[in-house]
Chain A
Amino acid sequence: MMNIFKNRLRKKIVTRPVIFRDHAMAGEVEAVGLELRKELHKKFGRSFHIREVDTGSCGACESEIISTTNPIYDIQRFGVDFVASPRHADALLVTGPVSRNMAVALKKTYDAMPSPKFVIVCGDCGRDGGLFKSSYYTLGGVKEVVPVDIYIHGCPPKPLDIMRSLLAYLKR
């Protein structure tokens, strides 16, 4: 237990790049985050919940989405939360080019969400299939199965890019 306290006190606040002391970027995470929080307060009354579905991504997008919740970015402090069930979600975050095997699961997850709801696509292959576009087993993007509201570019998009895109959409 003492170790935990010691470590906690020594580290102080880490919501910035820990090894590189990149204050410019840390400032940006903060700025984007605060604006995001303001928008979420206005439009969602504080709580904004996301359900993630992987339809055949390579796993890098998942890794970056998880990174947004680490103590350096900590997207939760701005009011964005990831939930385990589509029933609790306001938005569906989809990665991957949609493998045929996942089409039904994606549709069912979308249908299980209460309205109003919207769909965010994370990563280039969810847009039109990306690198896997010409495959016999992909459907060529998430829009083939469910209506899409936002595309987040990148392969994979960095955590800050995910936050920025979300903000840009909410401000529209």
Chain B
Amino acid sequence: MGYMSFIDEIKKECGAPGAEAMDVREDEVYIETSNADFRKVCLTLHKRLNSPVMMYFASDDRKDKGVFTLYCVFLGGLFKKWFIVRSAIGRDDAEGMGSLAKEIYSASLFEREIAEMFGIKFAGHPDKRGLKLHNEVWPEGSYPLCKDFVPPQTYMTDGSEYKFNRVEGEGVFEVPVGPVHAGIIGPGHFRFSAAGEPIINLETRLGFTHRGVEKLLEGKDVSRAVHLSEHIAGDSAFAYSLAFSRAVEKICGIKVPERQEVLRGIYLELERMYNHAADIGGIALDVGFSFAAALASIMKESILALNERTGGSRYLKNINQAGGVKTDLDKDGVSLMTESLGPIMKDLGELKTIMLSNISFMDRVDTTGVLRKKTAIDLGIVGLAARSSGIPLDLRKTFPGIYESAGFNMKTQEEGDVLARLNTRFAEFEESARLIKKFLKMLDVGEPSSGRPVYGYKEGFALGYAEAWRGAVLVWVSLDASGRVDRCKIVDPSFHNWHGLTYAVLGNIIPDFPVCNKSFDLSYPGNDL
């Protein structure tokens, strides 16, 4: 079945003849609906595509059209398309339209975000609390992503405290943790409710690293915006600049030369490798296995040094640009990379044996922090955490591009525990190294190219994406006529996955929380923006 007939079925099924206007751009299918039908169409797509809400955001188009526009993005894996439901909405219409959150859990956080950023409040949303703009420091009624936003005159608030969900009963106690944690790590608040040892509820309050990235991107030209995108989550700098660049390339109709796509593949996999090495070490460290952690940190440092030698930056910053990559690999670079991978892979083999053959280590990670497949599907978990719970979801598989010719193998695990997430990392680390070797061979043909691609900016919008090491990084960009960013919505995989952590720890003891947390290793800045 083609996606066109699928759309027709959807329209019939939810009886929304209003959902006529369609707009297809490469792999994005925009379905325009009236705001009365918006909810119905979203629900039907969610059910039929088996896709969580991947992105759900608003943009302020009051200047041109007098209304806001809502976008709700689903992934149609079967059709290899993104389905984007779009509807014009006035600020007060949302009351009548109703919230999606009751039917689709993964829409819940997005609606809270839209409410605090635009003042569009959905009727019947089960959770009215703020997300990123904390009510202790930000006055009610100031909506930063509106175009007519001016910073508030005074930061006086009503002094109300954030209401955590409380578990009450005899012997139940709360353990507050954060925002400043014991380790060298980002800030976030965790509120445990426990009775005896096991955790019966965990609530996370995030937003502590909110910097207003989406607002800062507005009005920036493309190259500055790409630069800023590298600082959204420093450990996924390349994935972000890649997703952003791809969106711009789609808008402006730029065809990236194959050699440059291969280079992007190499760097994206290097980023995955250094982060997986860090996490494998982190998991070992969090159960007190310091030798394995030290070995993993040597691997990480080796990859960071390799990044610097070949790409000029330890964290792969300043490599991407709209239209390709800035730095090419010459013959020396290729052989340096090939040579360096050898010892790193040898280390990985030994690390794997050392960790997986250690009984006391296995005792700590096996069956710890289980995220069941059903729960993961309901929450809309993405990326590595989803694959470790048996959900075959990887954008490198859905939209392979250069990965097609390298023969990409997706790695999944069924158990969903800390060990499964560790094993996925081991497997993906090996797969990344294999892919890089393939990619390096593909570089043998074709000459190194460099310089700035020449192209004209166009007005328009598009969705850029990349499978970062945590999962799908999605960047929706709209450029104005002068080639500046008009609106940019960013979704980090962590935004979906933090809730997965709160379910995975249930029934585990509080001392196992660090290792559960590390096995997800979610981003604070990526989530908070």
Q: A14: CB under 8 A from chain B?
A: yes
Query: Contact at A156–B234, with CB atoms within 8 Å?
Result: yes
Whether the Cβ atoms of B305 and A19 lie closer than 8 Å is yes
Residues of B within 8 A of A (CB): 132-134, 136-138, 144, 149, 151, 155, 179-180, 182-187, 207-213, 215-216, 227-228, 231-235, 237, 278, 291, 294-295, 297-298, 300-302, 304-306, 309, 314-315, 317, 340, 343-344, 350, 353-354, 357, 523-525, 528
Contacts of B306 in A (CB 8 A): 19
Is A62 close to B, CB under 8 A? yes
Q: Is the interface of A mostly helix, strand, loop or mixed?
A: mixed
Tell me the complex Cα distance, A156–B151, Å: 29
Residues of chain A at the chain B interface (Cβ within 8 Å): 3-4, 7-8, 11, 14, 17-20, 52-67, 69-72, 82, 84-86, 96-97, 99-105, 109, 125, 131-132, 134-138, 155-156, 158
Question: Is there contact, CB below 8 Å, between B234 and A132?
Answer: no
Contact present for A102 and B209 (CB under 8 Å): yes
Closest-CB distance, B306 to chain A (whole angstroms) = 7
Minimum distance in angstroms from B404 CB to a CB of chain A: 31
- Give A3 to B317 CA distance when docked, in angstroms: 37
CA distance A37 to B314 in the complex (A): 27
In the bound complex, CA of A138 to CA of B215 (Å): 12
Interchain Cβ contacts under 8 Å between A and B, 13 examples: A3-B354, A17-B302, A54-B209, A57-B186, A60-B231, A67-B300, A99-B210, A102-B179, A102-B187, A135-B216, A136-B149, A136-B215, A138-B212
Inter-chain contacts of B309 with A (CB < 8 A): 20
User: Known contacts A54-B185, A60-B315, A100-B134; can you find 14 more A-B pairs with CB under 8 A?
Assistant: A4-B291, A7-B350, A17-B302, A64-B314, A67-B301, A72-B298, A99-B210, A99-B528, A101-B209, A102-B187, A105-B187, A125-B231, A136-B149, A137-B133
A53 to B278, CA, bound (A): 20
Nearest residue in B to A102 (C-beta to C-beta)?
B208
User: Nearest-CB distance from B73 to chain A (Å)?
Assistant: 24
Residue on B nearest A6 in the bound complex, by CB? B350
Complex: A102 Cα to B350 Cα, angstroms: 41
Kindly identify which residue among B184, B185, B213, B300 contacts A70, using a CB–CB cutoff of 8 Å. B300
Instruction: Return B186 CB to nearest CB of chain A, in Å.
Output: 5
Q: Is the CB of A131 within 8 A of B228?
A: yes
Which partner residue on chain A sits nearest B133 by CB separation?
A137
Contacts of A64 in B (CB 8 A): 314
Looking across the interface, which residue of chain B has its beta carbon closest to that of A72?
B301
Pair A59/B186 contact, Cβ less than 8 Å: yes
Task: Please state if A56 and B208 are interface contacts (CB–CB under 8 Å).
Answer: yes
Cβ-closest 7 pairs across A and B: A60-B234, A58-B234, A84-B182, A70-B297, A135-B212, A56-B209, A59-B234
